[in-house]
Amino acid sequence: MRALLQAIRGFGTDRRGNIAVIFALALLPVMAAIGCVIDYSMASRIKAKLQSAADAASVAAIAQKSPGYNAAVLMSGDGPVPDAVTDANKIFDLNMGTVPGYTNLVRNATVTKTGIQLTSRIDFSANVPVSFLGVLAALGGPRYQNIRVAGSANSSASLATYLDFYLLLDVSGSMGLPSTTAEAARFQQINPDNFVQYPTGCTLACHFAPQNSACVDPGKSNSTQGYPTNGYCLGYAISRVSPSRFQNLLVLQNPQGKYPYKNSTSGSPNYQKYQQLPSSMVSGLPGSLNTDPTYGLPAVASCPDDGTDNCIQLRLDAVGSAVNALLLRANSLVKVTDQFKIGLYPFITDIDENYAPLTADINSLSTINYQATQLATQLDNNLNANLGSGGTHIDNALHSLNSLIKNVGNGNSAANRKPFVFLVTDGAQDNQYKDVPNGNWHGSNHATVLTDRANDYPSICSTMTGRQIIVAVLYIPYQEINPVNTSFAGNEDTYANDNIDNIPASLRACASPDFFFTANSPADITKALNAMFSQSLVTAHITN
């Protein structure tokens, strides 16, 4: 008996072989832990695949030119976009179609249009079968047959906003000034026009085309010219040719010969007495400036750059170049067909509705781009009945354009377009006008502004903004006339100069909030016009 008790006691205290028992007891939870890691890793991999598919579907369903995006563009109101939902589900299924290892997939897509915003959401869930976690059930633990994974993806996009831009472009006489002071200096040296009135050198590219209407050769009682031009204003034609080559045509004259002519009023020799074109060319001017077989100079169609020897850039050249740059930028931002429409509407006493009407064809080879570069050709020549002649009637132009804009929408569809008016002007309202062609003058030539309440000018601006038309103004500062000729046209120069300080506030009052801009140099005109367009996109909530 004693031996048996000792044997039992010895067995209980004997530690030999316990490591095997401990290992056997520990192996099961270790394997279960490893199994959990493997099963959860598989579940994570499947969830990542599902999330990637949801992300792709969420983005693609509202991408530009997708079926859903195109359908949303055509919607007249807000709400779900079924075509986008169908497309999202299709894209999700396509991405998950070859991925194994899950069951009981549930996915739900919602796409909604709110104003010009398009939002999409993809929700998903699925079961991922487990392998090793089943061991826990065999040991009496929880019965894990699947791991449920779930997630979602969200995306948003701005719909294409449909905008119409009406560019109201001042082409009256003062916009025929050279674009910079350097260009003006070059022009003064060779321009014969109105030298009687402005003996220091006329800087205006005189533009009235009829013979003897505004430019009369020396020797006549109402003469204006510094040297003979066959009774034609030559300033605009000169601005289209090389100034250095034109200078070479001017022949040095003997001051004791038939020059100088004397001003019939003052008797003073205030003509450019040492300059004259070849006599063989004079009788054929203005055409002979380009066509004379001996002296003819090639003319440019437009002058997009200042400082070159091809031409002298006028303000309208600079504006036309800036407009062309705007057209190219707008075309680069188009997301859908007909998103942006742009029209050019030059004006003097009236607007020319047919010069370059509203169009979505704004690529570099389109008609409107060419018309932009040719804007200086619309400078008042007293022959264009569509534009009228003689004054600057900003109020008439705004009234006409307001009538031209029939519908005002918020831009959320092609049938609900948002209109913007870009007024580009030096801002001097001038109520006079001249009959076309070569007719009489009418009305006051005393410069005024749009806030001249005696003529009820402010009403048209408030009428347009009241219709939710955005009115943007680019003011190209009116240049002070110096020297002033008090005897010319009833002291017109003094009235024009005295009016300059009133112009900015007047134009600012006409513009919509945040839409008044000022620019003078060619580069600044391009920059300002671009800023006007950018502000329009911000106002229309377009991300570009």
Per-residue pLDDT of the chain (544 residues; tens, 9 = 90+): 566 556 555 545 555 556 655 555 555 565 556 666 777 788 889 999 999 999 999 999 998 789 998 888 778 788 999 999 999 999 999 999 889 989 999 999 999 998 778 899 999 999 988 876 655 555 555 566 788 999 999 999 877 789 999 999 999 999 999 999 999 999 988 999 988 888 777 888 888 999 998 999 988 888 899 889 999 999 999 999 999 999 888 875 544 444 444 444 444 444 455 578 888 899 999 999 999 999 999 999 999 999 999 999 999 999 999 999 999 999 999 888 899 999 999 999 999 999 999 999 998 889 999 999 999 999 999 999 999 999 999 999 999 999 999 999 988 788 889 999 999 999 999 989 999 998 899 998 899 998 876 665 668 999 999 999 999 999 999 988 888 888 888 899 999 999 999 999 999 999 999 999 999 999 999 999 999 999 998 887 654 4
Q: In the numeric block, which tokens belong to residue 175?
A: 């916009």
Give me the torsion for CA of 378, 382, 385, 391, rounded to 10°: 80
422 neighbors 474 (Cβ within 8 angstroms)? yes
pLDDT of residue 137: 57
Q: What is the pLDDT of residue 14?
A: 56
Note the pLDDT tens digit of each residue in 126-173. 998 887 665 555 555 556 678 899 999 999 987 778 999 999 999 999
Where helices occur in 61-194 by DSSP H, the ranges are 67-74, 82-96, 134-138, 181-188
The domain ranges of the chain are 29-158, 181-307, 314-539
Are the beta carbons of 542 and 420 closer than 8 angstroms? no
Tell me the C-alpha distance between 328 and 330, whole Å.
6
| pLDDT for 138 | 57
Instruction: Look at residue 259 in the predicted model and tell me its pLDDT.
Output: 42
What pLDDT sits at residue 183? 95
The pLDDT of residue 180 is 94
If you count them, how many residues does the chain have?
Answer: 544
| CA distances (Å), origin 356, targets 300, 337, 470 | 21, 19, 20
CB 192 within 8 A of CB 226: yes
Of 3.40.1160.10, 2.60.40.10, 3.30.70.600, 3.40.50.410, which CATH number belongs to 314-539?
3.40.50.410
pLDDT at 282: 93
d(CA 104, CA 153): 19
Helix (H, G, I), strand (E, B) or coil at 40: helix
CB atoms within 10 A of CB 43: 21
Predicted local distance difference test score (pLDDT) of residue 311: 97
CB 201 within 8 A of CB 188: yes
Q: Beta partners for 217?
A: none
Residues near 533 by beta carbon (within 8 Å), at least 6 away in sequence: 165, 326, 329, 330
State the Cα–Cα distance between residues 509 and 538, nearest whole angstrom. Answer: 21
Give the pLDDT confidence score for residue 33 in this predicted structure: 61
Asked if residue 65 lies in contact with residue 73, where contact means CB atoms within 8 angstroms, the answer is: no
Query: Residue 131: its pLDDT value, please?
Result: 73
